[in-house]
């Protein structure tokens, strides 16, 4: 019976601490720090989006987005191809390590390999 009462006491203490934490107020310094960081991020985003557009143009935000989107997409796609290859190699190496297979470095040229299938 004592274990049941201990469990109830632990549960009630956990519930009380949860409710207390839920209603606790965040210190003003933490709130102001979070707001400052959020404003800094927004300023950075704005400066990046305005950098490709002339300062004299104060049109809608839609043309600005359409001008910057293709550049980002092209850059992202080229990076993702390279990263995809690297990630695939890393995953393959981890899988081989997990299975206990020896680590095989990718061969970049036929001159590096001792075994060649070429007949002279």
Q: Is the pLDDT of residue 61 over 50?
A: no
How much is the pTM?
A: 0.25
Q: Is residue 34 part of a domain?
A: no
- Is 87 inside a domain boundary? yes
Residue 78 counted as domain residue: yes
Which range marks the domain in which residue 69 is found? 60-102
Spell out the residues 6+ positions from residue 104 whose beta carbon is closer than 8 angstroms to its own: 96
For residue 54, give the 3-state DSSP assignment.
coil
Examine residue 55 and state whether it is found in any structural domain, yes or no.
no
- Report the alpha-carbon angle 8-14-20, nearest 5: 135
Q: How many CB atoms lie within 10 A of CB 64?
A: 15
The number of distinct structural domains making up the chain is 1
- Which range, of 12-21, 26-35, 46-55, 83-92, averages the lowest pLDDT? 46-55
């Amino acid at each position: 019976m004592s274990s049941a009462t201990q469990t109830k006491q632990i549960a009630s203490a956990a519930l009380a601490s949860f409710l207390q934490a839920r209603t606790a107020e965040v210190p003003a310094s933490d709130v102001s720090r979070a707001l400052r960081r959020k404003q800094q991020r927004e300023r950075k985003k704005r400066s990046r989006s305005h950098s490709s557009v002339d300062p004299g143009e104060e049109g809608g935000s839609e043309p600005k987005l359409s001008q910057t989107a293709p550049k980002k997409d092209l850059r992202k796609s080229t990076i993702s191809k390279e990263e995809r290859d690297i990630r695939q190699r890393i995953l393959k190496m981890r899988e081989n390590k997990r299975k206990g297979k020896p680590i095989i470095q990718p061969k970049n040229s036929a001159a590096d390999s001792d075994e060649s299938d070429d007949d002279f």
